[in-house]
Structure 1
């Protein structure tokens, strides 16, 4: 029932109740009350007639406030509220009395229908209503819930409503909602108990039956059918069960229920057809066979169906069928059922009878009765079919030569190209390439090149494996234009593999199209142009050619992209890689530093020649296992090694610490391949570092060639210069250094392990300056509290009565040193003549009180040690105490004053002459502790241990001085090469004037400033100015009477 109709019905019944007077049986109104009520009632009826219910409500409320016992007015007020759908107020207005129960029910039903009240309100009504009214209320409210919230809301509310004499009605109502929700379990749960008690009406019975059908629940449905309200209802339920089972794919269940239909239904052809289809689905052979006969289905159709399920029944069925109806189907069934006897006794129309005979031959052959088959075929006329069959049988029995002859005969009889394919295939297999090629060329020319792909491929393979003649070259071009892309690509690849790249280029032209074209071009580009090959192979791969992955990997490796190649090697299973591929992958992995992968691929390979052992050694060396690497190199050299193997072994032996073995192998590599510049260079460098001088001298010829082969390698030039110097060929050493210095003006090498490029240049220029220096001039002045830091001091003269005290003194020195010989230096050894002038004075303000001059020879025997031997004629002049006078510092700067002072010494001074033998040495001042400018360092350490021993042979006096000094030098942020160094020192001096030994031990702290200058393109700084000041603290001794104080020194060397 539609909601609007229901609303109309409820409202109408409500108004009918309100218009009756059965509920207004109160005491009659007094005349006065009737009089007072009349105007309002009259007007209200008129307003109600006009539908003005608001006004009716107002009038009646006013009237009831004056005449509350007027029930007619109350009824009209309720009516107005209902008309306004204000049901709650209408209910509150209407007295709750038994006489008003029906009216109140209708009013509540209308309220539920139009504007449902709160759920608790409805449940209160239901709880306080009689059974009939109760059912109507929950029916109405559940319908309202379903309308607003769906069937689930109605069902859930009814499920929680406690029964009160209406349990059966509730169960039926809940079953109805469950059915709408397709909750078949819920429907069964509600109705099954009623069915057990036989309390179902026809509608509920049908609802329960439908739930069982939906669940395909057979047993309870069978029981329910026994209480069916009518046979027709049972019949429809059975049909529904059949339809449901079919829909759910339960063919056996559908078949059972279909067979349970009444005989009248089973006699229906449509139902029998359904039963036949279900029997086929369930594999019920007996039913299928029976119904097929009843429905007059084709005999062969039934036999075909039975052949897959019941071969015996199918064979029985086939014997009753007529072959003429469908010879092909009959033959297929006979073959499937292996009805050999039936095949032998039955004749079929052609071509099926021929196939029947062929099948019989196949059966005999499968049974191993080949002799019977061959005898039968030989006895038959040698038609094309017979010849073909004999060729097939011979090929199957591995009689390939005879089979090839029969295939060729069949080709000649029929022109069948498949037979030519077999004939040429077997001919090639038997080694008859020329005959196969003749057959293929003949067929190619006869058919204008239009042959099947296998034949074209075979002919292409023959051409690619040989050098085609001019005529054959034309066929190759024609082949390439006719074959499919795969065959064309294979032909091009074979041509390229055999080095026939001219033919490949001619066939492809300037515009390659297919992937095979690019693959062939890539092969032709290898190995001379691997980068070009990579581009071709990658293009082929992008076009879908997967056969280019391995060639692409080789090309990438050859082009230097080992990482790209290794990615491809890793994507291919190890079992599919050849030994060569594994070794190539190993080499590529080694190139990119993946030593574990390199070792794994090397271990997977099986080839172990000299090259392979060398590769294994390189892998072990990269892993840091130099012992294993050397072991593998020895294995390589035990085979058939060449110079390269000896060279690689020498490198490995050097890393393993076996330098002697490394040198021997490097010598062997150079002997085997004397024109290899790399071997010569390395061998020269190795000899240059040998332990013996003779061996080092032997490196010069190799280094000379190496500097010609690698003129850009500054290390070779430096090494050659050092060897020239060692063999006392300073001129060649300087020449080579100049060449290296010129090279470094446009360097090809940046920083190295020894420092920056600028430091390297400075090192080369310093070496050239040392080899070039012949003259050295030193000018120095020292102001000291007692002694000074060398033995370049004026001797005390006992004849004058002088005595060394702890007063300050100063000494000025001017010295010139000139190297003798054709070259200034010979392997670091020098012999030079020198002359010096010394001026001395007591105190800090008196100069030139004493004058000393000396001329001598200096010999430095070793280039590796800073040790010098001196022999000198020394002459000294000193004034007597009464004539002693000196110069001031300003006068020292005036040459005439200095000349006059020297003349005074010559005329008035006390002069002594002696012979000086002297030795000096300096240790701990080489390498990183040297006193030299550093290009690429901002600060550094300096130290020295200076030893000085002197013997005045005539006077018999001895002097000894030792000084250890260490400091830290910083560059100054000024123009020019300037440094400052704070330092500390410990100094010991001893002298024995008049055989009276005196000693002094002192220490102190000082600060030194140096400025380096005067350099050019080939020479580092040749001059430097040094200014130092230090505080000296005496620790003991009587030589200087414990004099403490500040020493200041200035020295210029150039």
Structure 2
């Protein structure tokens, strides 16, 4: 900075004569002053003349000489400093003026001149450095050799800029200079960190931030400045480190603290991998205001850490904001969906906007509160609902059994000409399902074409089964299983379809797979029992039957439904049948007149009384193959003979033969036997008999077997019998339809009133015998175990008959019957 030369000369000429007189204020003795004036005056005059001639070097020499004779006077210091200034020697000017301040510390002129020269010296250093900017090595040497103390913050900032340029790859050397202005100290911290980042020196950056810890903790403004600048320049990791270093910013004002917490939360939310588990633990500790806890909760909600969110917002004594209730709703969704619904409801109550209402509608649907979910959907302006919202609302309406609203939402989609996705067609299928299953099936096929899912295929298969499209249903289930081969429900459904189609091997494979995946699934266990029974794998069938029975017995008897009890009894009956080899039976009748004896050992027999005892043994291995059996049997039977007695003890005969049940699902028996008389009564002879018999209409609910549920049951049976005697040529045909009601007395006992219509024909009789019977029986079942249904049954009955037409002498008869099976 140059002084005004003309003004300075003029000032000197005017003031020079009195110059030394003015100095008397400095309390210099009069003689000494006079002598100093004598010595310095010539040099001052020569120095001013040299300045006028622009000979600044000569001026400096003269003023130095004058200064040597008057070392304490401010005037000589000002002349010399000005000469140095004019000659560009600002540092020397500064040194002279600083020395003068020791003697005259309050001299305003000296202070002003010192400030101007300091500024000039700072600028001189700065300009020298800037002149070297294109030669980094020289600039580095220059900066290393000079450590100026700047009195102007702007100039000091410029020096720091030079350091940043010179040591861009050596951030530690930037620290060789220490700024004394606070703004430049913060700026130096910034450029040091930026240089470290630019040069890839992450280790140094991290270490330097740690060194700044105490400063950061005391200066939240510095934290704000550095974190902002670093984040802006791509140093997000370092910005987070700085913020974490000063967290929780207790020395900051509430506004700045909230700003810094929000900045930190936002950075972490966007860069979650930049913080450690330990740091997250620090951030999880509740802060001292609900505003800050709300920011924390938002952060951890974004990080999917709901346990922390719940902890931060667990103090319900403090009113929660709408956003916080929504966050709680999000965090309760998985483990506590009911509380999630409550939280969303609170948010909606505070602000029933579309965001909160939508969230509540979805959550209410998730907890199957379909009516409230539908109410929420209906409260929304349909024009503001997205296409997805409309589909979800339609789904809710169908779930709430309010199909008319579903129709409205789907109609709105149609009005918008919205693309019809898979869910749309599935929803259409649900609306058509009851009345138009064929149309529903077509809708599901459209859904599958767009987005095949296991659920779509499974429902399509169910409709196809309802439409008796068994092949198509099986194909649909096969397609579903291809989508998810490990889906045990699909495996079981397809296995059942195979079972229904008679594809037992395929069914068993899938049932086994489902059972391996879910060993406790009772449905798969039961179906394995049935399937193995169908395949004749009796040992396996027994194993699964026992497992299924055990599963029922784990439940309290009172907890078993009627269906459960019937299924349990069916399994026990199957178990008993699979383990049976021997069957023993006894039958006997005795009446007041001769009558026909249906289902007797001698078809076509007419007798007043009759009795027989039989033992049958199932041959083969297995003894029973899917209901098919082949048995050897032997029996003894007798009747009233020629004595016409009510005691069936006469004309006894022995018979032995084979009985074949060729169809497992039908009670049809074919037999061949040889009958041999035991008393050799005249007329009796050994003969062979061929026989076919069958029972129909007596399965399931109408069987004579014990029924575990209800007070009783209706039973019926159509019995058909055809027999031919090879020796005599006699042929007998019998048809008997019987219907009864079993009235339970106690468990295992019934009183059974019944009636039946019976037709008998013989090829040696012209007429046939048609009669009706009315009677009552007492039945008693016994011998059941945990796994076996009643293997034994005995009965005693009384019956009256009337023949409409007959080849016998009497039309009316009363007789007693009894029998048993073991």
Shared fold, TM over 0.5: yes
Q: 2:464 & 2:456 partners in 1: Cα distance? A: 12
Could you say if the C-alpha distance between residues 839 and 669 of structure 1 is closer, same or farther in structure 2, counting changes exceeding 3 Å? same
Structure 1 position 948 matched with structure 2 position 759: no
| Pick aligned residue for 2:440 from 618, 626, 629 | 629
CA deviation profile, 1:537-557 (whole Å, cap 9, x unmatched):
455567779764443433333
Structure 1 position 686 matched with structure 2 position 494: no
Q: 1:457 & 1:602 partners in 2: Cα distance? A: 46
CA RMSD in angstroms comes to 4.4
Structure-2 residue corresponding to 1:916: 689
Matches within 5 A, 1:646-657: 646-655=457-466
| Pick aligned residue for 2:573 from 742, 749, 766 | 766
Length, aligned pairs only: 577
Q: 1:795 & 1:654 partners in 2: Cα distance? A: 45
Could you say if the C-alpha distance between residues 688 and 951 of structure 1 is closer, same or farther in structure 2, counting changes exceeding 3 Å? same
Q: Post-superposition shift, 1:915?
A: 1.2
| Pick aligned residue for 1:983 from 754, 771, 794 | 754
Q: Post-superposition shift, 1:683?
A: 1.0
Matches within 5 A, 1:930-949: 930-949=703-722
Q: 1:657 & 1:794 partners in 2: Cα distance? A: 45
Indicate the larger mover: 458-467 or 760-769: 458-467
Structure 1 position 1045 matched with structure 2 position 774: no
Q: Post-superposition shift, 1:689?
A: 0.8
Q: 1:1010 & 1:953 partners in 2: Cα distance? A: 37
Highest RCO, 1 vs 2 (Cα 8 Å, sep ≥ 6)? 2
Structure-2 residue corresponding to 1:466: 270
Q: 2:392 & 2:309 partners in 1: Cα distance? A: 27
Structure 2 segments unaligned to the other structure (5+ residues):
1-227
Q: 1:748 & 1:587 partners in 2: Cα distance? A: 38
Structure 1 position 639 matched with structure 2 position 450: yes
Structure possessing the higher radius of gyration over alpha carbons: 1
Structure 1 position 848 matched with structure 2 position 649: yes
Could you say if the C-alpha distance between residues 676 and 609 of structure 1 is closer, same or farther in structure 2, counting changes exceeding 3 Å? farther
Q: 1:767 & 1:478 partners in 2: Cα distance? A: 63
Q: 1:507 & 1:1007 partners in 2: Cα distance? A: 79
Which secondary structure state, in structure 2, belongs to the residue aligned with residue 675 of structure 1? coil
| Pick aligned residue for 2:638 from 834, 839, 847 | 839
Structure 1 position 619 matched with structure 2 position 430: yes
Structure-2 residue corresponding to 1:366: none
Matches within 5 A, 1:673-822: 673-690=484-501, 693=502, 695-747=503-555, 755-784=562-591, 785-790=593-598, 792=600, 809-822=608-621
| Pick aligned residue for 1:872 from 656, 667, 673 | 673
Could you say if the C-alpha distance between residues 809 and 852 of structure 1 is closer, same or farther in structure 2, counting changes exceeding 3 Å? same
CA deviation profile, 1:935-967 (whole Å, cap 9, x unmatched):
223233222222222222122222222222223
Q: Post-superposition shift, 1:638?
A: 1.7
Could you say if the C-alpha distance between residues 588 and 577 of structure 1 is closer, same or farther in structure 2, counting changes exceeding 3 Å? same
CA deviation profile, 1:708-729 (whole Å, cap 9, x unmatched):
4455554433333222222222
Question: Would you say the 8 A contact 2:284–2:296 is kept in 1?
Answer: no
Q: When the two structures are superposed, what TM-score results if normalisation uses the length of structure 2?
A: 0.61
Which secondary structure state, in structure 2, belongs to the residue aligned with residue 786 of structure 1? strand
Q: 2:793 & 2:782 partners in 1: Cα distance? A: 6
Indicate the larger mover: 551-560 or 508-517: 508-517
Q: Post-superposition shift, 1:608?
A: 5.3
Which secondary structure state, in structure 1, belongs to the residue aligned with residue 623 of structure 2? coil
Structure 1 segments unaligned to the other structure (5+ residues):
1-427, 797-803, 878-904
Could you say if the C-alpha distance between residues 535 and 976 of structure 1 is closer, same or farther in structure 2, counting changes exceeding 3 Å? closer
| Pick aligned residue for 2:660 from 859, 871, 874 | 859
Q: 2:737 & 2:535 partners in 1: Cα distance? A: 34
Question: Would you say the 8 A contact 1:860–1:866 is kept in 2?
Answer: yes
Question: Would you say the 8 A contact 1:530–1:559 is kept in 2?
Answer: yes
Could you say if the C-alpha distance between residues 672 and 957 of structure 1 is closer, same or farther in structure 2, counting changes exceeding 3 Å? same
CA deviation profile, 1:450-478 (whole Å, cap 9, x unmatched):
6599988995895476226569x89x979
Matches within 5 A, 1:492-507: 492-493=297-298, 496-497=301-302, 499=304
Structure 1 position 1018 matched with structure 2 position 787: yes
Which secondary structure state, in structure 1, belongs to the residue aligned with residue 789 of structure 2? coil
Question: Would you say the 8 A contact 1:613–1:632 is kept in 2?
Answer: no
Could you say if the C-alpha distance between residues 712 and 624 of structure 1 is closer, same or farther in structure 2, counting changes exceeding 3 Å? farther
Q: 2:756 & 2:307 partners in 1: Cα distance? A: 84
Structure-1 residue corresponding to 2:93: none
Question: Would you say the 8 A contact 1:610–1:645 is kept in 2?
Answer: no
CA deviation profile, 1:126-150 (whole Å, cap 9, x unmatched):
xxxxxxxxxxxxxxxxxxxxxxxxx
Q: Post-superposition shift, 1:702?
A: 0.9
| Pick aligned residue for 1:551 from 359, 369, 394 | 359
Matches within 5 A, 1:19-58: none
Q: 1:751 & 1:611 partners in 2: Cα distance? A: 41
Question: Would you say the 8 A contact 2:589–2:609 is kept in 1?
Answer: yes
Q: Post-superposition shift, 1:832?
A: 0.5
Which secondary structure state, in structure 2, belongs to the residue aligned with residue 778 of structure 1? strand
Q: Post-superposition shift, 1:687?
A: 1.1
Could you say if the C-alpha distance between residues 451 and 735 of structure 1 is closer, same or farther in structure 2, counting changes exceeding 3 Å? closer
Matches within 5 A, 1:8-23: none
Which secondary structure state, in structure 2, belongs to the residue aligned with residue 689 of structure 1? helix
Question: Would you say the 8 A contact 1:609–1:636 is kept in 2?
Answer: no
Which secondary structure state, in structure 1, belongs to the residue aligned with residue 715 of structure 2? strand
Q: 1:787 & 1:479 partners in 2: Cα distance? A: 99
Which secondary structure state, in structure 1, belongs to the residue aligned with residue 270 of structure 2? coil
Could you say if the C-alpha distance between residues 521 and 765 of structure 1 is closer, same or farther in structure 2, counting changes exceeding 3 Å? same
Matches within 5 A, 1:385-400: none
Q: 1:520 & 1:1011 partners in 2: Cα distance? A: 68
Question: Would you say the 8 A contact 2:616–2:634 is kept in 1?
Answer: yes
Question: Would you say the 8 A contact 2:461–2:473 is kept in 1?
Answer: yes
Q: 2:778 & 2:313 partners in 1: Cα distance? A: 79
Q: 1:766 & 1:830 partners in 2: Cα distance? A: 16
Q: 1:461 & 1:596 partners in 2: Cα distance? A: 47
Structure-1 residue corresponding to 2:23: none
Which secondary structure state, in structure 2, belongs to the residue aligned with residue 576 of structure 1? coil
CA deviation profile, 1:806-832 (whole Å, cap 9, x unmatched):
xx6212211111111122211111111
Q: 1:435 & 1:512 partners in 2: Cα distance? A: 43
